[in-house]
Structure 1
Amino acid sequence: MVIKFGILDQSIVFPGQTPGEALANTVKLAKLAESLGYERFWVSEHHDSAQMAGSSPEVLISYLLARTEKIRIGSGGVMLQHYSPYKVAENFNVLASLAPGRVELGIGRAPGGLPRSTKALQKGQAESWTLGEKLSELEQFLHGPAGEEHPLAGLQANPLTELPAAIHLLGTSVSSAELAAERGYPYAFALFINNDPETALRAFDAYRSKFNYETGSQPKTILALAVIAADTHEEAVELAGEHKNIRVTLGSGKTINVGTLAQAEEFARQAGETFTYEIREADITKGTKETVRARLLELKETYGADEFIFTTIVKDFEKRIHSFRLLKEAFAELPVQEVV
Structure 2
Amino acid sequence: MSYKLSILDQSPIFPGTTASDALQQTVLLAQKAEEWGYTRFWVSEHHHAKQLAGSSPEVLISNLLAQTSKIQIGSGGVMLQHYSPYKVAENFHVLSSLAPGRVDLGVGKAPGGLPLSTKALQFGAINDGQDFSERLSFLKELIEDSVSDDHPLAGIQATPIPETKPEIFLLGASTNSARLAAELGISFVFAKFINSDERVLEEAANLYREGFPSGRLIIALAVVAAATQTEAEQLVGNRKIVKVHLESGRSVTVQSHEQAEVFGNQSGEAYEISEHEADIISGTPAYVNEIFTQLQQKYQVDEFILHTPIEQAVERFQSFQLLSPIYYTNKNVQPINS
Pairwise CA distance, 1:149: 2.6
CA distance in 2 between counterparts of 1:156 and 1:227 reads 40
CA distance in 1 between counterparts of 2:199 and 2:20 reads 39
2:51 aligns with 51
CA distance in 2 between counterparts of 1:299 and 1:148 reads 43
2:26 aligns with 26
Partner SS for 1:313: coil
CA distance in 1 between counterparts of 2:330 and 2:274 reads 40
CA distance in 2 between counterparts of 1:41 and 1:67 reads 12
| Within-5 A mapping of 1:230-249 | 230-249=226-245
Identity %: 51
* Count of aligned pairs: 329
Partner SS for 1:38: coil
Q: Does the 8 A contact of 1:143 with 1:161 survive in 2?
A: no
Amino acid at match of 1:182: E
Q: Does 1:179 align with 2:187?
A: no
| Within-5 A mapping of 1:136-175 | 136-144=137-145, 146-175=147-176
Partner SS for 2:224: strand
CA distance in 2 between counterparts of 1:75 and 1:55 reads 11
Partner SS for 1:246: strand
2:335 aligns with none
- String of CA shifts for 1:93-149, please: whole Å, max 9, x gaps: 000011111100000011000011111111222212111111122122223275543
Q: Does 1:311 align with 2:307?
A: yes
1:207 aligns with 208
CA distance in 1 between counterparts of 2:114 and 2:39 reads 32
2:260 aligns with 264
Q: Does 1:35 align with 2:35?
A: yes
Amino acid at match of 1:77: G
Q: Does the 8 A contact of 1:290 with 1:330 survive in 2?
A: no
1:74 aligns with 74
- String of CA shifts for 1:272-324, please: whole Å, max 9, x gaps: 11112332100111111122122222222233211101011232222222111
2:10 aligns with 10
Amino acid at match of 1:35: E
2:223 aligns with 227
- Range 8-17 or range 153-162, more displaced: 153-162
CA-based RMSD of the aligned residues comes to 1.7
CA distance in 2 between counterparts of 1:283 and 1:308 reads 15
CA distance in 1 between counterparts of 2:112 and 2:70 reads 28
> Mind listing any 5+ residue stretches in structure 2 that lack a counterpart?
332-338
- Range 122-131 or range 97-106, more displaced: 122-131
CA distance in 2 between counterparts of 1:145 and 1:294 reads 42
Amino acid at match of 1:269: N
CA distance in 2 between counterparts of 1:144 and 1:292 reads 41
Pairwise CA distance, 1:56: 0.3
Partner SS for 2:235: helix
CA distance in 2 between counterparts of 1:283 and 1:172 reads 13
1:337 aligns with none
CA distance in 1 between counterparts of 2:173 and 2:147 reads 31
Amino acid at match of 2:115: P
CA distance in 2 between counterparts of 1:106 and 1:175 reads 17
Q: Does the 8 A contact of 1:86 with 1:138 survive in 2?
A: yes
Pairwise CA distance, 1:47: 0.2
CA distance in 2 between counterparts of 1:225 and 1:73 reads 18
Q: Does 1:121 align with 2:118?
A: no
Partner SS for 2:75: strand
Pairwise CA distance, 1:255: 1.6
- Range 250-259 or range 53-62, more displaced: 250-259
Amino acid at match of 1:289: P
CA distance in 2 between counterparts of 1:146 and 1:176 reads 22
Instruction: Give the direction of change, closer, same or farther, for the CA distance of 1:197–1:278 in structure 2 (3 Å limit).
Output: farther
Q: Does the 8 A contact of 1:192 with 1:225 survive in 2?
A: yes
Amino acid at match of 2:219: L
Instruction: Give the direction of change, closer, same or farther, for the CA distance of 1:280–1:330 in structure 2 (3 Å limit).
Output: farther
Q: Does the 8 A contact of 2:232 with 2:282 survive in 1?
A: yes
Partner SS for 2:130: coil
Pairwise CA distance, 1:261: 1.9
2:329 aligns with 332
CA distance in 2 between counterparts of 1:281 and 1:330 reads 30
- String of CA shifts for 1:1-57, please: whole Å, max 9, x gaps: 732000000001111110000000000010001011100000000001111100000
**TM-score if structure 1 supplies the norm length?**
0.92
**TM-score if structure 2 supplies the norm length?**
0.93
CA distance in 2 between counterparts of 1:38 and 1:121 reads 33
